[in-house]
Structure 1
């Protein structure tokens, strides 16, 4: 509100709640811990699944951190911020969604004692920022380069990612699918690498069969059939035209009604429609294509001309599918038929085929010479299993993409967290000011990853963690971590468990930045309406009176 004086005045109505100071900061820490505790058991190969039920009655069974938190409804704003970082990690990197939540929760948890001792949040934040800078440097130092052309090495990296997932039982198959699909969509231009798996590596889930029948097609598959029963359903080395315009007569866009005085006028309108369709079809037929895909409709008359010319047509194709077909067969999506040229025709596909799988018809454009898009065909017992397999495959493909863009690796199984923790503790000994203890708290917080892995195995946490600390205390033992299956201290190099540098870097940055953000909050002001009839506040906010707006 602005009064009659010089400056604005904040007027809080009776139903506006306000909490501030230390209480808010500690509440934020509790909310973050509660979110982290929900998915703590979802880390590692012995991870438990969560069964989620949505309001519509659907069921999701998964141990993917982002998928779980996406389905949860929370009221506390700090908890909502925690859920947001899981989504950010998933979109940016595609893996490490569980780790980032556990880490952020622990970083806030170790800050709570300092808040209770009335240490100012700015002091804690400065120490956290310094720790983050040192963290990123240490990760670079302990990372190892990887040869992305080494099939065995790449397979081991992907296996360590999906070993904790449902699809881990079919590890070799999943690794092969992830590698093939990412290599297919990989494009390098002017020294810049582009791998767009979301747009050009489409997953098609068909219930039935077994997971072993899943494969990567060297082309595209879409859930469509030809428009006319007399059209060919199998063509070898087809010439393909892709359109983004309707093959139907254009109705008058501005003309709402039409008055006809003579019977001949109606016949003339029908003739005009036929002439237009004939012209559009002749523009296509002159290039002698075998298959026409369009994102819009195809009229009966156009189908008639295509059947006479021996052309198969597929209509109402999604724009994303049309773009993938274009990348696969070398065609160009054209907006007007009169602009069609010979170079717009796709000739790189080896086979066009319509197949019936289950109850539905699918169109295959496969055996492409150099496809830059692909379809992953997934088979499985039920839709629930297929959804989980798809989520796991997306993680595997993301890991492959990250390694191909930034080919550096770190040891998994909590080894890198323990190594970084020890190096941070060494650095903290050189500090003499008030920031030393919060800095050391970051080092201690990193131990939450190996500690959680030990807990999820059911091993003796204190003994195992002490043994792991002892290993890392001696120089050069940075690759010792936790065997996620047995809970024992093991050299991770022997197990072959590796993680991409990009995943860890993003997880640490996101977790520390979120902890800093939530620690800086010292006030929560809520102006939400209460339900009618509640005792503590009126149903609607009171309007400020003239007196309240005066200076």
Structure 2
């Protein structure tokens, strides 16, 4: 609203709300900090889980940062930006989502102190950017090389990603599965596409019953009971065309005036389908995976020919089958030829937890594999699935980048010390922001200590002393939460891919800078004239506009 000669002029629609200056910054920072504090207790091997109940009563129990933030019904615009950090971290690396959010929250908290000392937001933003760039350099400097053949180190990386994610009981078994799967699907040039590792969840049995299949599992059953349940020395045809009679492309009517004509029409339909089946049989295939439908008559003829057939297989499964068996996906019935077929030692239909599944195993060089996860309840299996997905992603990132750093807060302490030295060399007001950035990074070891029930100040002092002492292994000194002391994380096997840290620091800094630079929040009125709570009210509520059905979570 403005005024001209005492007459008010309304610029914004009625019901719109505007918050400016320090109020806007305060509200946004409070909301972002509230999101960070919501996931903070889940960090580390001693982190706790969250139970999330949605509006229809579905329950998710997890300590995976990105899952918590996705499930929470967050409304505040600044809080949504924190959720974006977690999503980006998850897409890029698969792990470290909680770290990224917690660091971003702490950066904003430190910035708030500087704002109160009348340091301008743009000065803080500039200092944070300089610190983030320097942090990337330092991280690359303290990283260690790892070869894709160093299976033991890859297992430790998978182990660290799974720690505290409900997979403790069978961690060794699961890390074996993950590393084996990634090394099998890795291409010669070192790239890894985790999409070629199919993870199937089945409730029932124990976690120990989880296994890797060197080939593919398809969650389907054969189309006809007369077909063989097991085919050895399988010659596999992958067909992306319907084994049915062709329908006309345009609307057409066939006029039949006598029973003879009807019988001829039906006979011709059957002859067409017989012709398709004959082409499949002629190719010498004994297993057929069809992406589209298989007609009832075709099922009968295929069963008579002793061919194991599956219909309506998902496109993603067809691609994985092609990679695992060496077959080509044929898109036309006329293109079926023996050279298009793939091979597998055994194709078998088995019952898993009361459901039929098809196992394609003993492939010569499977470039697509499957992992079956078993567990006592649905919630256990879902959390195991999230842990395995994280582990698969971090191992693939380590194989691609060939670099890793120690875990347990060691890189953050090293960054913090080196950034303080850097701040002294920069001088000026930016020095304050770089020092704030350095202090903010210590939130990770501090949180690890708090979540493990240790004294955070004692632990921080011990860690700083261990790093300042210098020496070859000083940069690997992190927090051993089980024994409550500073320890060599490399020896303890607590290691993470370099990209987990570089991405977390970069995302956290970018989000903090973006939120800091906002000095005016103009919120349109809600549909239906509800008006909705103001940004200040939202901040007062903990920044969680509407956390559907989760009272008292903060």
405, 415, 420: which one aligns with 1:420: 415
Alignment of 1:17-416 (within 5 A): 17-188=17-188, 191=189, 193-197=190-194, 199-255=195-251, 257-347=253-343, 349-416=344-411
The two structures, once aligned, show a CA RMSD in angstroms of 1.9
Q: Within 2, Cα distance between the matches of 1:16 and 1:358?
A: 55
CA separation of 1:533/1:475 partners in 2, compared to 1, >3 Å: closer, same or farther? closer
Q: Deviations over 1:54-95 (max 9, x none)?
A: 222111111111111110011210001101110111111000
Are 1:448 and 2:443 an aligned pair?
yes
Q: Deviations over 1:519-547 (max 9, x none)?
A: 1222222223354588999xxxxxxxxxx
Residues 412, 481 of structure 1: 8 Å contact kept:
yes
Instruction: Quote the offset at 1:257 in angstroms.
Output: 4.4
* Residue of structure 1 in register with 2:552 after alignment: none
Q: How many aligned residue pairs are there?
A: 524
Residues 467, 477 of structure 2: 8 Å contact kept:
yes
Q: Deviations over 1:363-394 (max 9, x none)?
A: 11101110010110111111111101110011
- Secondary structure of the residue aligned to 2:168 is helix
- Secondary structure of the residue aligned to 1:14 is coil
Residues 162, 396 of structure 1: 8 Å contact kept:
yes
CA separation of 1:310/1:463 partners in 2, compared to 1, >3 Å: closer, same or farther? closer
Q: So what's the TM-score if we normalise by structure 1?
A: 0.91
Instruction: Quote the offset at 1:231 in angstroms.
Output: 0.8
Q: So what's the TM-score if we normalise by structure 2?
A: 0.91
Are 1:506 and 2:507 an aligned pair?
no
Residues 160, 497 of structure 1: 8 Å contact kept:
yes
- Secondary structure of the residue aligned to 1:38 is helix
Instruction: Quote the offset at 1:444 in angstroms.
Output: 0.4
Q: Within 1, Cα distance between the matches of 2:532 and 2:476?
A: 61
Unaligned ranges ≥5, structure 1: 1-8, 538-551
Residues 26, 115 of structure 1: 8 Å contact kept:
no
492, 512, 516: which one aligns with 1:515: 512
Q: Within 2, Cα distance between the matches of 1:308 and 1:257?
A: 33
Q: Within 2, Cα distance between the matches of 1:168 and 1:505?
A: 27
- Secondary structure of the residue aligned to 2:246 is coil
Q: Within 1, Cα distance between the matches of 2:357 and 2:350?
A: 5
Instruction: Quote the offset at 1:479 in angstroms.
Output: 1.8
- Secondary structure of the residue aligned to 1:450 is helix
Residues 241, 332 of structure 2: 8 Å contact kept:
yes
Unaligned ranges ≥5, structure 2: 1-8, 535-554
Q: Within 1, Cα distance between the matches of 2:533 and 2:59?
A: 38
Q: Within 1, Cα distance between the matches of 2:43 and 2:532?
A: 45
Q: Within 2, Cα distance between the matches of 1:225 and 1:429?
A: 68
Q: Within 1, Cα distance between the matches of 2:387 and 2:91?
A: 14
Q: Within 2, Cα distance between the matches of 1:233 and 1:10?
A: 75
Instruction: Quote the offset at 1:465 in angstroms.
Output: 1.4
Instruction: Quote the offset at 1:212 in angstroms.
Output: 0.8
Residues 14, 525 of structure 2: 8 Å contact kept:
no
Q: Deviations over 1:121-178 (max 9, x none)?
A: 1111111111111101101111111233122222222222222221123121111011
Question: Which range is displaced more, 210-219 or 356-365?
Answer: 356-365
CA separation of 1:526/1:253 partners in 2, compared to 1, >3 Å: closer, same or farther? same
